[in-house]
Amino acid sequence: MKEESKVLELINRRRSVRKYRDKPVEREKIIKMIEAARLAPSASNGQPWRFFVVDSRDNVSKIVDSLGIINTWAKTAPAIIVGCSARKSGVHFIGEALIGVKYYLLDLGIAMEHIVLAATEMGLSTCWIGWFDERKIKKLLHIPTGWKVVSLLAVGYAEKNFKPRNKKTLSLEEILFFK
């Protein structure tokens, strides 16, 4: 099988899972996921990210308390990865000032997706979490000033009876334009 095929197969296999088994995620696997994020590209190699892994039941519950009502499903996740970013390099400031692009947020998004793909490859499931109270999370995790909580990611082993839905994606003809 060609490398490209393996990557596309992995991407196609990834699903958002919202119900997890009561089984901790091994620290070795968490470290491998963060290693994948560490290797992600970033503007001017600024690497404007920090990751806080919440894997104690008590702290996961506290994080879930800071989420919107729509995200109560996250209480079943054995781990939540909190992705933080900060403007660190001139590219971040210049890019935002000149063209309105917040590269530090894009950089973290790329790194977080590296985590998602590494997790999938190791037999873990993930789900991005939106709608959270950044202030509460920063206080709980003692996140320093200057760092923004950008994204949360639930990580764990999918419940045994999990059946992935068919992904509805736009066709290539709808999204690809050669000029």
Q: Which of 66-75, 120-129, 148-157 has the lowest mean pLDDT?
A: 66-75
Beta bridge partners of 153: 81, 128
Domains of the chain as residue ranges with CATH: 3-175 (3.40.109.10)
Q: What is the pTM of this model?
A: 0.92
Biggest alpha carbon–alpha carbon distance for the chain: 54
| Amino acid occupying residue 23 | K
pLDDT tens for 1-28 read 556 689 999 999 999 999 999 999 999 9
Beta bridge partners of 80: 54, 154
pLDDT tens for 90-120 read 766 777 788 878 888 999 999 999 999 999 9
Closest CA to 126 of 140, 112, 137, 105: 112
Winning range, highest mean pLDDT, from 3-12, 79-88, 107-116, 157-166: 107-116
